[in-house]
Amino acid sequence: MAYHKSSKKRIRSTESKRVLNRYQAKTVRNSVKKLRDTKDLEEVKKELPKIVSMLDKLAKKNIIHKNKASNLKSKLTKKANAK
């Protein structure tokens, strides 16, 4: 068990950050899956900038790796530009 006041605070802040990071990452994962399953290209083109922005934010905060974000953006952009 933590003894110092600062280590107790660190445990609390780490837990709250972990919960927020998991929520944001899960939200983006669900959005990406939804976009992949969408058949309407107009809808894909409309939603793509929002999801790209979310991926960039996660990569900036090191919640996901920057290369993973780039790979996802690339694949989604290919889908949007198909046909």
> Tens digits of per-residue pLDDT, 23-74?
999 999 999 999 999 999 999 999 999 999 999 999 999 999 999 999 999 9
CB 8 within 8 A of CB 14: no
State whether the Cα torsion 50-55-58-60 is positive or negative. Answer: negative
Measured distance CA(72)–CA(62) in Å, rounded? 15
Q: How confident is the model at residue 2, as a pLDDT?
A: 77
Considering the domain boundaries, does residue 52 fall inside one? yes
Considering the domain boundaries, does residue 28 fall inside one? no
Considering the domain boundaries, does residue 35 fall inside one? no
Considering the domain boundaries, does residue 32 fall inside one? no
- Give residue 72's domain range: 41-83
Considering the domain boundaries, does residue 49 fall inside one? yes
Considering the domain boundaries, does residue 21 fall inside one? no
Considering the domain boundaries, does residue 69 fall inside one? yes
Split into its structural domains, the chain has a count of 1
Confidence grade of residue 1 (pLDDT, cut at 50, 70, 90): confident
Measured distance CA(59)–CA(65) in Å, rounded? 6
